[in-house]
Amino acid sequence: MSNIFISYAKEDRESARKLARVLEAEGWEVFWDRNIPTGKTWRDIIETKLKAAQCLVVLWSKASISSHWVLEEAEKGRQRGILIPVLIENVEQPLGFQSLQAADLSNWDGTSADVVFTSLVSDITTTVSAAATDEQVEEERKRRALEKAAPEFGQINEPIPGTPRRVTWELKRLWLKFWNLKRKAKVLWIGAFTGTLLFLLIAGFDSLSAPTQERLKIKLHLWPQPFTEDRGDDFNQTLDGKPNPRAWKYPPGQWKIERDINGGPSSGILTIFTSKWGVRNDLDSKAFYDFKVKFRVQFKKGNNKAAWVLRAQEDGQRGYVFELERRDLKICLNAWVYTGKETIPIGDTPNIYLVFDGPFVDEDYFDVDADVVSNTFKYTVTWGTTKAQDDQGHDRILSTEPYSVPLLKDEQSYYRYGNIGFFAPEGNQAVIDEYSSTALAAAGSSPK
């Protein structure tokens, strides 16, 4: 549940983002990003978050005081008694809200030490605490009502043997007998039950076939020997132009090996025309290990995005999604957690800018080097080119030093199993070359 809901006009998104980050640093959960998951409507998400919020902070500005949606959200917060108005520009609050004292952050420096911000934090704390108390009272009321509606054990007629009610009754009776045992007897019963269960599990495991045991060991993380050799792919030219099916699982007809004009006669590059990711198989049975992966990305003419998924599920439903994007004179590397239902930004996504300054040309490429340790991703990106001079014959100036991207970490989920997949978002063509990967150690055991 989000403690705080920030209501703002789209023109004030940057102000909302700045305030949300500082409030999150204070320990609250804040809903402010209006990106809507696939399959959901804007109204569904907003109504759900509004009902769950314990405090609604509205940002009043020239844009928001005339926004129908902001006024409607603020009114809902006022009706529930959880509204805290904040001025981010020198404006008057709309009619109906002028009796409420507003925090003036129009000159806020963005730090938590600001006097007005400190006062705002105090007001939010009081509002959230009051809302939480009301919810606790309601939960206690529901619990007492259920207890009152259910007859005490022993005060009901004994159910007829053989009926479902009799089974439930017997289970309750046995549970009460166990609960009334002395502590020493409880420990003995629990020990005996645990020992019996372990014996049955071990005996049952030994009776399984060797391939089944191997799969279970992998799934249960009981096989901590990672492979040590590098797994590479130089995308040699093939007769049918398709990737090696023993190395890749890919959507047929949407992946192709093309000749690399900068390589030898048989050298190729992998060109992807689909937004559905294909999967590299070299980590499929060992994917609970941490690993390193390297590859080269080159944008095709007229395209400016390439994407990949690490720890991707084979069914294409969950994983960590990364996107390298060319934005005019800048390059971004953004990251999301993809749960199968929604995408959750990581770090400063969608604005994680690299240090490279264009202009860029079609002959430029980017070498991507990633260390994947548990739920953290350490990226190094290097800018290179096969065109050293511009069209006027002048030497191009490139930032050729490798750039270490700030550490990306998933704070919410941890996808341990899976593969590595590539895809081309939004109708682009992703070009991949010089791929290799190496397993490091059992997941979570590598130094962070």
Q: What total of structural domains would you count in the chain?
A: 3
Which residue has tokens 């070299």? 282
Residues 244 and 371 in one domain: yes
Residues 285 and 178 in one domain: no
At residue 156, the pLDDT reads 46
At residue 163, the pLDDT reads 65
Which residue has tokens 């998951």? 37
* Pairing state between β 4-7 and 55-60: parallel
Answer yes or no: are the C-beta atoms of 439 and 283 closer than 8 Å.
yes
Q: Which long-range contacts (CB under 8 A, 24 or more apart) does 245-251 make?
A: 246/281, 247/280, 247/281, 247/282, 248/278, 248/279, 248/280, 248/281, 249/278, 249/279, 249/281, 249/314, 250/278, 250/279, 251/276, 251/278
CA-based nearest residue to 374, from 340, 334, 414: 414
Residues 170 and 52 in one domain: no
At residue 447, the pLDDT reads 33
Residues 315 and 428 in one domain: yes
Which residue has tokens 């919810």? 135
Q: The pTM is what?
A: 0.51
At residue 225, the pLDDT reads 53
Residues 348 and 421 in one domain: yes
CATH code, domain carrying 267:
2.60.120.560
Q: Per the domain annotation, does 211 fall within a domain?
A: no
What digits encode the pLDDT tens for the residues 220-275? 655 445 556 678 888 887 778 888 887 888 887 788 898 887 777 778 899 998 88
Q: Per the domain annotation, does 147 fall within a domain?
A: no
Q: Which residues of the chain have pLDDT under 70?
A: 1-2, 34-40, 133-164, 166, 177-184, 210-229, 283-288, 313-317, 413-414, 416-418, 441-448
Q: Per the domain annotation, does 374 fall within a domain?
A: yes
Residues 31 and 174 in one domain: no
Q: Per the domain annotation, does 126 fall within a domain?
A: yes
Residues 418 and 346 in one domain: yes
3-state class (DSSP) for residue 148: helix
CA-based nearest residue to 366, from 323, 406, 395: 323
d(CA 45, CA 2): 12
What digits encode the pLDDT tens for the residues 161-201? 666 676 777 777 777 766 666 666 777 878 888 888 888 77
Q: Per the domain annotation, does 14 fall within a domain?
A: yes
Q: Per the domain annotation, does 216 fall within a domain?
A: no
Residues 125 and 260 in one domain: no
Residues 333 and 401 in one domain: yes
d(CA 85, CA 74): 8
Quote the percentage of the chain above a pLDDT of 70: 78
Domain holding 245, by residue range, is 231-442
Q: Tokens for 409?
A: 């970490």
